[in-house]
Structure 1
Amino acid sequence: MAIWRFDAIGTRWEIETAHELRSAERELVDAEIDRFDREWSRFRDDSSVIAMSRAGGTISSSDAGAMLDAYRELSRATAGAVNPLVGESLEALGYDADYTLVAGAPLVAPHGWTDRIRWTEREATASEPSLIDVGALGKGRLVDLVMDALRDVPGDLLVDAGGDMRARGSAVRVGLEHPYDPTKAIGVVELQDAALCASAVNRRAWGDGLHHVLDARTGVPVRTWAATWAMSTDAMRADAVATALFFDGGPELAASWDVHWVRMTTDGRVERSPGCPAELFTRR
């Protein structure tokens, strides 16, 4: 296997292929990542998301419909805990474009975001300045886009964006990293023609108990769950469910989307979905 490693959107990527990727194939991947970043990143001043945060208006993107449709289902399932307008809430706690990491008072995300944001398959329009954050599912969406960009590459293929991954071809054995000890795994799963996405409170964490998984209704980081893992046929849905599992309603959404999952509480207890194929090493 050949492995191409690079950094993009603030994480480490590894793309494994049966043979070395050609320059034209790498250029396709670079172009797709750059396009997505220019449209949806709240960490670059020239993105469409930042333009919307300043003046409202429209984001033209082929990802708008798929992502915002999924966000609507996430919000309904979690009674509003997941909300794409949580960007200002994250900034209030210091997780901003400058990585200030100095927390102010918690900020509740705007209610009724589907009234403020309207969308079609290829556009999203805000009626007033609004800061969208696609962190609940955006990396999974991009993994799917990169996988699609490499659809003509023959043989086995694994796209891994900082632990959010999708595999094609032969089965890949993947460890479920312990959220409090990266040298250990709480279990393993075999991934074949499927995606695995994870979220944990030790990732993108700062200050005293601050991390990136917020309850949009309070603007405060979640406290009950430490880590989640979700397996689906596509990475965007796996990523979305990995976020939803931090809240009530997450398991029900996963069942309706036919997504298997594992999650761990902050005191070390583990739950998993019925029929989940993961092999677990820890107590339940």
Structure 2
Amino acid sequence: MATWRFDAIGTRWEIETAVDLDESDRAAVTDEIARFDREWSRFRTDSDVARLGREGGALVSADAGVMLDAYRDLSGATDGAVNPLVADSLVALGYDAEYSLVAGEPVRAPATWDERVSWTDAAATASTPSLIDVGALGKGRLVDLIMAVLADAPGDLVVDAGGDMHVRGGAVRVGLEHPYDPTKAIGVVEVRDQALCASAVNRRAWGDGLHHVLDARTGIPVRTWAATWALAPDAMRADAVATALFFDGGPALAERWGVEWVRMTTDGRVQRSPGCPAEIFVAGGGHGVRPAHQN
């Protein structure tokens, strides 16, 4: 397998293909990532979503409908804990465009976000200035888009964006990284013709107990769950369920969407969906884990 590594949207990408990608394929991948970032990155002052946060109005994007439809399901399943207007809550805790990491008072996201933001398949419209954060599923969406860009690449294909991956063809054996010790894993799973996405409180963490997974109803980081993993036919839904699993409604949404999952509490207990194919090394205590490496 040929491997192309590069950095984009704040994470490390690895694209594995049966043969080296030519310059036109690489340019198409780069252009698609740049387009998505230009439209949806709240860390860019010149992005369309940043303009929506300043002015309101319309954001024209082919991703608007599919992502906001998924957010509607996420919000309903988690009783409002997942909300695309959580951006201001993250900013209040210091996870802002400048990465100041200086926390102020928690800010609740508007519970009526779907009254302030409307959408069609091709655009999102904010009736008042509204900063959208697509972090609950955006990276998964972009992984799927890159898979589509490379649909004609021959043979096996793996698109991996910082551990959120979509695999076509031969199985990839992936370790489920222990959230408190990256040299260990709580289990391993084979990913074939599907996507695996994960989320953990040790990633994008700062200050005293501050991290990027917030309950939108309170503006406060979650405390019960430490890490989640989700297997789905597409990376956007895997990414979305990996976020939803930090809340009580996550397993029900996963079942409805046909997504298998694993999650670990902050005190080391592990839960999994009944049909999850992962081999788990720990079963309730958080001890006895062994290393597993992503291939």
TM-score, normalised relative to structure 1 = 1.00
Counterpart of 1:52 in structure 2 is 52
What amino acid maps onto 2:264 in structure 1? M
Deviation at residue 212 of structure 1 after TM alignment: 0.2
Counterpart of 1:103 in structure 2 is 103
Question: Residue 228 of structure 2 aligns to a residue in which SS?
Answer: strand
Counterpart of 2:117 in structure 1 is 117
Counterpart of 1:141 in structure 2 is 141
What amino acid maps onto 1:142 in structure 2? L
What amino acid maps onto 1:59 in structure 2? L
1:193 aligns with 2:193: yes
Superposition CA RMSD, Å: 0.4
Deviation at residue 283 of structure 1 after TM alignment: 1.8
Question: Residue 73 of structure 1 aligns to a residue in which SS?
Answer: helix
CA distance in 1, matches of 2:55, 2:171: 47
CA distance in 1, matches of 2:96, 2:10: 13
What amino acid maps onto 1:40 in structure 2? W
CA distance in 1, matches of 2:188, 2:166: 15
CA distance in 2, matches of 1:111, 1:259: 26
Question: Residue 254 of structure 2 aligns to a residue in which SS?
Answer: helix
CA distance in 1, matches of 2:45, 2:85: 18
CA distance in 1, matches of 2:60, 2:231: 30
Deviation at residue 275 of structure 1 after TM alignment: 1.4
CA distance in 1, matches of 2:275, 2:120: 36
What amino acid maps onto 1:194 in structure 2? Q
How is 1:265-276 mapped onto 2 (pairs within 5 angstroms)?
A: 265-276=265-276
CA distance in 2, matches of 1:250, 1:111: 18
Question: Residue 81 of structure 1 aligns to a residue in which SS?
Answer: coil
How is 1:157-168 mapped onto 2 (pairs within 5 angstroms)?
A: 157-168=157-168
Counterpart of 2:291 in structure 1 is none
Counterpart of 2:287 in structure 1 is none
CA distance in 2, matches of 1:64, 1:283: 40
Q: State the identity %.
A: 75
CA distance in 2, matches of 1:204, 1:246: 16
1:232-257 Cα deviation digits (max 9, x unpaired): 00000000000000001000000000
What amino acid maps onto 2:197 in structure 1? C
CA distance in 2, matches of 1:238, 1:35: 22
1:100-134 Cα deviation digits (max 9, x unpaired): 00000000001111100000001000000000000
CA distance in 2, matches of 1:274, 1:238: 16
CA distance in 1, matches of 2:145, 2:180: 31
What amino acid maps onto 2:74 in structure 1? L
CA distance in 2, matches of 1:266, 1:229: 15
CA distance in 1, matches of 2:134, 2:161: 15
Counterpart of 1:230 in structure 2 is 230
What amino acid maps onto 1:254 in structure 2? A
TM-score, normalised relative to structure 2 = 0.96
CA distance in 1, matches of 2:31, 2:96: 25
CA distance in 2, matches of 1:172, 1:155: 14
Which stretches in structure 2 are left out of the alignment for 5+ residues?
285-295
What amino acid maps onto 1:204 in structure 2? R
CA distance in 2, matches of 1:157, 1:108: 41
Counterpart of 1:31 in structure 2 is 31
CA distance in 2, matches of 1:197, 1:122: 26
What amino acid maps onto 1:136 in structure 2? A
Question: Residue 144 of structure 1 aligns to a residue in which SS?
Answer: helix
Counterpart of 2:243 in structure 1 is 243
1:155 aligns with 2:155: yes
What amino acid maps onto 2:109 in structure 1? A
1:67-89 Cα deviation digits (max 9, x unpaired): 00000000000000000000000
1:174-213 Cα deviation digits (max 9, x unpaired): 1100000001111010000000000000000000000000
Counterpart of 1:79 in structure 2 is 79
Which stretches in structure 1 are left out of the alignment for 5+ residues?
none
CA distance in 1, matches of 2:75, 2:255: 16
Structure 1 consecutive aligned stretches of length 4 or more whose deviation exceeds 4 Å? none
Deviation at residue 53 of structure 1 after TM alignment: 0.5
Deviation at residue 168 of structure 1 after TM alignment: 0.2
CA distance in 1, matches of 2:188, 2:91: 35
Question: Residue 241 of structure 1 aligns to a residue in which SS?
Answer: helix
Question: Residue 59 of structure 2 aligns to a residue in which SS?
Answer: strand
How is 1:10-25 mapped onto 2 (pairs within 5 angstroms)?
A: 10-25=10-25
